[in-house]
């Protein structure tokens, strides 16, 4: 008997057929992960007893367990970004997830043990930090992969809600359980995470094992990506560490219910702020548009850092907490969106991004210590800290790449075509040694009752508005920029597409016999169809979700079938189809079928 996971869809339609995200279990899973991190790394005795934790080497307000955990966590994530796709099978394996949960749980339970004559408290906390750092790095990459499988709107919705869930579980659940059961409950959270990951893998189409739809990551210029992505993330991490040290790390350990209630209320405010910003932008999912109003707001909240201490610290702390939590959610959304939008490896993006940010935040957390280390006038040290946060955020915002710049870093780009060419069955993309276009006979699929091959736009989805009878409507600035970029370098695109094709062929050669029938019953033909879909997805820079939708659409299925296969709403499926038609400059499903059929390998 099958098990059906409930799916909640949030549809806020500004126009017919538009979906604004789908709430799923990934928000609960990542919320659990954050609650575990807060308790095992930031808590200083509330959950794990009344004894003080050993001070860290650079800041007596940071525990040794926290310092070791963040250091190991950041270094392992950077190593994962270097290994990248070599870790795919390792991270997807169930034993890996279970072992990481065991390590995290063991490290959490060590915080409950008092020091003795054999092992002192410092050694226990150091070992705890190492174990939780290893376990949390693996689980974070797993959640990064899970989020990158979603569309942009769902990433934003689930990323924002996970913040409120995480602080709610930490403050209103774990902190209310008597010692030592609260610590034991915290140690069980990694196992709950793994259980949710396994449920999502099987029932919510995260495609950990369904390699038929896992297209290979797009090739990128790694040196340019590290510079354009890693540098702003480093400065954002410094600002994040300072805000964390001056707000969350002084409130999280509070034993009073009022302190924990404040955390939950401010987390809810941050969630509402992000979702309202998204909706106010009309569902615009481009990260530079999304950053534009939120980064200045977060910078303004940093001005309240001097007011987080003293008798009248309630409002100052509350404002800084909202800014910090919005900051945390925004960075998670950014990494997830970057991975899915350009179909980059989530292991590489999250490993480099979260690893860099963790180490930078660790350094930023020590900066407030220096405000009192020198004989500075009263208030000058705190204002200096505020200035550092503002400068770091301004520099990071100036360096942050937008979609057009990121498209130039990806080695495969879109190439403009005419929809009439697709309709006339002229080969549009050729991947061979000579780079010479030649006609090829069309390969037809077996007919399906549920998916007629002659479906038009009016049958599968309402046509997007057009400025005239033949050309599609004006796309947004990003799409125009992408088209202009690739129009200037068609030869480069063809060469990079050929490289991507060679990479795909080597990866999927051993898996061709396991995929479902697509064109005919021969394994070679099944593999070729998927390769042709991947060439088109690479050439036109389709996002991860758009690539999957295009795969089913090219096989002749309608939006209702695609909705069921990918566990998405009908509005989301139709929105993806419209985006695919616009990026490929075609008008119907039949044009797409011709386009896929005439890709030469």
Tens digit of pLDDT for each residue in 338-366? 998 888 889 999 999 999 999 999 888 87
Cα separation of 544 and 537, whole Å?
A: 9
Residue 125: the pLDDT is 86
Give the CATH number of the domain where residue 523 resides.
1.10.10.10
Based on the domain organization, do 345 and 436 belong to the same domain?
no
CB of 581 closer than 8 Å to CB of 479 = no
Q: How many independent structural domains does the chain possess?
A: 2
Q: What tens digit of pLDDT does each residue of 70-84 get?
A: 999 999 999 999 998
DSSP-derived secondary structure for 540-584: TT--HHHHHHHHHHHTT--HHHHHHHHT--HHHHHHHHHHHHHHH
**114 is a domain residue:** yes
Q: What percent of the chain has pLDDT over 70?
A: 66
Average pLDDT over residues 129-137: 95
**3 is a domain residue:** no
Based on the domain organization, do 388 and 423 belong to the same domain?
no
pLDDT at 493 over 50: no
Residue 253: the pLDDT is 57
pLDDT at 378 over 80: no
**385 is a domain residue:** yes
Structure tokens at 581: 């038609």
Of 386, 409, 432, which marks where a domain is finished? Answer: 409
Using N-to-C axis directions, what is the helix angle for 121-148 and 313-341, rounded to 10°? 50
Based on the domain organization, do 18 and 46 belong to the same domain?
yes
pLDDT at 394 over 80: yes
Token pair 């702020």 in the structure block, residue: 273
Based on the domain organization, do 376 and 442 belong to the same domain?
no
More confidently predicted of 385 and 56: 385
pLDDT at 135 over 90: yes
Based on the domain organization, do 386 and 522 belong to the same domain?
no
Cα separation of 586 and 579, whole Å?
A: 10
3-class secondary-structure state, position 488:
coil
**2 is a domain residue:** no
CB of 34 closer than 8 Å to CB of 271 = no
CB of 148 closer than 8 Å to CB of 77 = no
Burial of 408 (0-12, 13-18, 19+ CB in 10 A): middle
Based on the domain organization, do 38 and 177 belong to the same domain?
yes
Structure tokens at 409: 């870093």
Count the neighbouring beta carbons within 10 Å of the beta carbon of residue 427: 18
CB of 539 closer than 8 Å to CB of 429 = yes
Based on the domain organization, do 381 and 462 belong to the same domain?
no
Query: 111 pLDDT band (50/70/90 cuts)?
Result: confident
Residue 216: the pLDDT is 74
Of 379, 409, 439, which marks where a domain is finished? Answer: 409
Query: 511 pLDDT band (50/70/90 cuts)?
Result: very low
Q: Which of 248-257, 455-464, 560-569 has the lowest mean pLDDT?
A: 455-464
Cα separations in angstroms, 158 against 45, 164, 175, 290, 545: 30, 10, 24, 15, 16
What would the 3-class secondary structure string for 367-390 be? HHHHCCCCCCCCCHHHHHHHHHHH
Q: Which of 350-354, 518-522, 540-544, 547-551 has the lowest mean pLDDT?
A: 518-522
Cα separation of 385 and 376, whole Å?
A: 13
Based on the domain organization, do 515 and 538 belong to the same domain?
yes
Cα separations in angstroms, 112 against 45, 62, 125: 9, 18, 10
pLDDT at 524 over 80: no
Using N-to-C axis directions, what is the helix angle for 380-399 and 346-370, rounded to 10°? 160
Name the residue among 549, 157, 529, 148 with its Cα closest to residue 329.
157
Q: What tens digit of pLDDT does each residue of 139-196 get?
A: 999 999 889 888 888 899 999 999 999 999 998 898 888 888 989 999 999 999 999 9
**1 is a domain residue:** no
CB of 536 closer than 8 Å to CB of 584 = yes
Name the residue among 532, 565, 543, 387 with its Cα closest to residue 478.
543
- Taking the whole predicted model, whether its pTM rises above 0.95 is answered as no
**414 is a domain residue:** no
Cα separations in angstroms, 356 against 182, 257, 351, 395: 31, 34, 8, 16
Query: 512 pLDDT band (50/70/90 cuts)?
Result: very low
Based on the domain organization, do 404 and 424 belong to the same domain?
no
Please name the residue ranges forming H helices in 38-120.
64-83, 88-92, 94-110
Give the CATH number of the domain where residue 292 resides.
1.20.1250.20
Of 409, 441, 458, which marks where a domain is finished? Answer: 409
DSSP-derived secondary structure for 298-335: HHHHHTTGGGSSSTTHHHHHHHHHHHHHHHHHHHHHHH
Based on the domain organization, do 449 and 486 belong to the same domain?
yes
**458 is a domain residue:** yes
Based on the domain organization, do 164 and 87 belong to the same domain?
yes
**358 is a domain residue:** yes
Based on the domain organization, do 386 and 506 belong to the same domain?
no
The secondary structure element, H or E, covering residue 594 is helix 589-597
Q: What tens digit of pLDDT does each residue of 191-235 get?
A: 999 999 988 876 544 443 444 445 677 888 888 999 999 999 999
- Domain that includes residue 440, residue range: 419-597
DSSP letter, residue 212? T
Contacts of 89 (CB under 8 A, 6+ apart): none
What's the whole-number average pLDDT of the chain? 74
Half-sphere exposure of 68 (CA within 13 A, CB side): 21
């Amino acid at each position: 008997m099958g098990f059906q996971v409930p799916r909640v869809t949030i549809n806020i339609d500004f126009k017919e057929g538009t979906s604004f995200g789908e709430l799923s279990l990934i928000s609960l899973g990542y919320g659990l992960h954050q609650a575990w991190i807060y308790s095992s790394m930031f808590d200083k005795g509330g959950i794990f007893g009344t004894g003080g934790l050993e001070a860290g080497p650079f800041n007596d307000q940071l525990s040794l367990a926290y310092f070791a955990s963040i250091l190991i966590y950041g270094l392992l994530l950077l190593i994962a970004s270097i290994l990248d796709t070599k870790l795919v099978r390792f991270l997807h394996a169930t034993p890996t997830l279970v072992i990481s949960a065991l390590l995290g749980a063991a490290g959490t339970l060590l915080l409950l043990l008092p020091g003795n004559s054999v092992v002192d408290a410092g050694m226990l906390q150091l070992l705890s930090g190492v174990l939780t750092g290893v376990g949390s790095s693996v689980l974070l990459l797993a959640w990064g992969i899970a989020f990158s499988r979603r569309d942009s709107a769902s990433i934003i919705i689930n990323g924002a809600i996970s913040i409120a869930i995480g602080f709610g579980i930490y403050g209103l659940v774990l902190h209310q359980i008597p010692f030592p059961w609260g610590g034991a409950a915290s140690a069980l959270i990694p196992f709950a995470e793994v259980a949710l990951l396994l449920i999502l893998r099987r029932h919510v189409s995260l495609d950990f094992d369904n390699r038929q739809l896992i297209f290979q990551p797009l090739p990128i210029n790694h040196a340019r990506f590290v510079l354009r992505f890693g540098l702003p993330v480093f400065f954002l991490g410094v600002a994040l560490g300072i805000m964390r040290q001056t707000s969350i790390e002084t409130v999280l350990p509070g034993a009073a219910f009022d302190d924990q209630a404040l955390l939950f209320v401010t987390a809810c405010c941050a969630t509402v702020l992000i979702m309202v910003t998204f909706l106010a932008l009309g569902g615009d999912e481009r990260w530079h548009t999304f950053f534009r109003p939120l980064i200045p707001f977060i910078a303004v909240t940093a001005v309240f850092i001097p007011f987080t201490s003293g008798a009248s610290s309630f409002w100052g702390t509350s404002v800084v907490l909202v800014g910090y939590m919005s900051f945390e959610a925004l960075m998670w959304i950014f990494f997830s969106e970057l991975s899915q939008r350009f179909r980059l490896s989530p292991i590489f993006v999250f490993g480099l991004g979260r690893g860099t940010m963790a180490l930078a935040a660790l350094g930023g957390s020590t900066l407030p210590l220096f405000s009192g280390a020198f004989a500075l006038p009263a208030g000058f040290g705190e204002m200096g800290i505020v200035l550092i946060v503002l400068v770091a955020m301004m520099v990071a915002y100036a360096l942050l790449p937008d979609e057009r710049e990121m498209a130039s870093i990806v080695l495969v780009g879109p190439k403009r075509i005419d929809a009439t060419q697709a309709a006339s069955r002229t080969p549009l993309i050729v991947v061979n040694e000579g780079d010479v276009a030649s006609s090829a006979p069309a390969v037809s699929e077996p007919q399906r009752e549920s998916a007629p091959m002659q479906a038009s736009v009016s049958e599968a989805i309402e046509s997007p508005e057009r400025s005239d009878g033949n050309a599609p409507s004006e796309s947004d600035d990003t799409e125009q920029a992408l088209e202009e970029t690739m129009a200037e370098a068609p030869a480069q695109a063809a060469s990079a597409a050929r490289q991507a094709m060679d990479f795909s062929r080597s990866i999927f050669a051993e898996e061709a016999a396991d995929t479902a029938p697509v064109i005919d019953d021969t394994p070679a033909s099944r593999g070729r169809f998927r390769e042709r879909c991947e060439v088109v997805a690479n050439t036109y820079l389709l996002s991860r979700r758009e690539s999957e939708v295009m795969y089913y659409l090219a096989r002749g299925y309608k939006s209702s079938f695609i909705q069921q296969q990918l566990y998405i709403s009908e509005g989301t499926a139709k929105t993806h189809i419209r985006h695919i038609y616009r990026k490929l400059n075609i008008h119907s499903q039949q044009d797409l079928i011709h386009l896929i059929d005439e890709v030469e390998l």
